[in-house]
Amino acid sequence: MGTNSVTADVTVDFGALGEEFLRNPHPVYAALRARGPVHRVRVPEGAEAWLVVGHEACRSALTDPTLSKSWKDASPELPLARLSAGDNLLSSNPPDHTRLRRLVAKEFTPRRIEALAPRVRALTGELLDAMLARPGGRADLVEALSFPLAMGIICELLGVPSLDRAAFRDWAEQALSSPDRDTRTAATAAMTRYLVGMVDEMRARPGDDLMSALIRTTDEDGDRLSPDELIGMAWLLLVTGFETTVNLIAGGVLALLRHPGQLAALRADPSLIDNAVEEMLRYEGPVETTTYRFTTAPLDIAGSSVPGGGELVLIALADADRDPARFPDPDRFDIRRPTGGHLAFGHGIHYCLGAPLARLQARTAINALLDRCPALFLDTHPADLTWRTGLLIRGPRRLPIRWLPGPA
């Protein structure tokens, strides 16, 4: 099925759409949106789901209390592996979610994030030094900058410098992106075993890092995170803390390299970086569809009926932010565009807690890259890039770049 051949009387099988869909899913989503806000789809893992498209419908669904994040509400007939370990913010509903977020927010503060800014700048500089010292003026930006920066900062934040980063990266990618259920289950189990040992070690030898603070933190009534909740929060912060940032930086740089006029505008006025990052999030955000939600009762989404009983619902953030009803000329990348209202970090009570950290790293890394590389180019044809599989995380697996010495 080609990207423009969506028909009204079939379940759309995303797993059958191939590389064309991975490279550019937006025409498929746009064709679905033209027909209505909700569609029956089959995800690459084999389960059938209800896909929500369009900005208004997605924004509404993100706050609908009849859509549960808890796996306890999932239909047992869904052939799905759980996406996370332990109890965490991504797999809980109020009042449990309210309690967890309150405990975590006590320590995951704007002050703690802002205190990381000097380290983000320093690590970015170290990574660019190493990259630019390579002979030939070529590198994979993911391997050279976006992955080691995002992983390094989240590990320092959590206090896990000895983390086996290569193994953890493989586990995270398999757990989040593999279409094979057994692979996803095995990767999640391996990560969980690792995190249990990590949390036990940090409990025995606490420091001044975020994870140690979460182990110690108590609420006014003496409430604190249970051992299972600590594992869940470690999983959530490590996996989402680096996966989204890796792909935000890589996808953002790719957008700039494919739009030379916008790249030139940002070089000419680096103060545009904050809005440029917001446009990168809108145009090609790192989360394509949300983590799973399950129906607890029949519901109406923008006039379309979805049955109850633990049905799987996916909310297409990538389409919400390309909806012309919200963003005029949405397929145009424009770093001066008003981007208020994009849903790249979600909306409502599940809005991404780590959004300030992702923004900090993206603006620091991209500004430094452009400053250090006055002549920067994509070192492959865009059609030759390979993209992450699955419907959750969006981004190129590799981003070959090349640079020339001296002014552009």
CA distance 381 to 278: 25
Residues 308/311/314/315 CA torsion (nearest 10 deg): 0
pLDDT for the residue 173 = 77
Structure tokens at 253: 């740089």
Query: Per the structure block, which two tokens stand in for 79?
Result: 């052939």
Q: What pLDDT does 86 receive?
A: 67
Residue 5 counted as domain residue: no
> In angstroms, rounded to a whole number, what is the distance separating the alpha carbons of residues 334 and 93?
37
- Counting the structural domains of the chain, the total is 1
Structure tokens at 8: 């009204």
* Averages of pLDDT over each 10 residues, the chain, 408 residues: 45 90 96 95 90 96 94 89 72 89 83 91 97 94 95 84 73 77 84 84 84 78 80 81 91 98 97 98 96 94 90 97 98 96 94 91 97 96 93 94 75
Residue 94, domain member (yes or no) = yes
Could you tell me if residue 3 is inside a domain? Answer: no
Residue 71 domain flag = yes
Q: CB under 8 Å to 256, separation ≥6 — which residues?
A: 262, 263, 266, 276, 366
For 155-189, the pLDDT digits (tens) are: 888 887 666 777 777 887 787 777 777 888 888 88
CATH number at residue 224: 1.10.630.10
Residue 324 in any domain: the answer is yes
- pLDDT the model gives residue 399: 98
Q: What is the pLDDT of residue 220?
A: 61
pTM for this structure?
0.90
Domain that holds residue 63: 12-404
Cα gap 137→148, rounded to integer Å: 19
